[in-house]
């Protein structure tokens, strides 16, 4: 079965997540899914492009999808809506 690793993009510098992707592929993942919400969406696209253009020329973007998620608020309960992105990277044969 195809091993899949998910990476959630947060507040760290982009290269941390690039390294996480490369490590996952190196450890045998067939696919790496990069996920982000809100302002981190731009960073997620940067990360996928850096992996593909600079470090793994044989990586391909298999799927990109966007959506809306309910995010719990820290104070007082309730939720707010935030846009999200999912980028699926895969190694070409």
Q: Give me the residues that bind its own copies (CB under 8 A), please.
A: 38-42, 45-46, 48-49, 53, 61, 64-68, 83-85, 87
Q: Which CB atom, from 22 or from 50, has the smaller least distance to its own copies?
A: 50
Q: Is 32 exposed, middle or buried (0-12, 13-18, 19+ CB in 10 A)?
A: buried
Q: Which CB atom, from 3 or from 81, has the smaller least distance to its own copies?
A: 81
Nearest approach in angstroms of CB 51 to its own copies is: 12
Nearest approach in angstroms of CB 30 to its own copies is: 20
- Spatial neighbors of 25 by CB under 8 A, at least 6 apart, are 32, 56, 59, 91
């Amino acid at each position: 079965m195809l091993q899949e690793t998910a990476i959630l993009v947060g507040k760290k510098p982009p290269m941390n997540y690039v390294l996480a992707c490369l490590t996952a592929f190196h450890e045998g993942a067939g696919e790496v899914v990069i996920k982000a919400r809100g302002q981190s969406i731009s960073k997620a696209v940067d990360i996928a492009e850096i992996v593909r253009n600079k470090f793994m020329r044989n990586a391909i973007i298999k799927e990109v999808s966007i959506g809306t998620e309910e995010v719990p608020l820290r104070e007082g309960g309730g939720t707010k809506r935030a846009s999200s992105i999912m980028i699926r990277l895969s190694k070409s044969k």
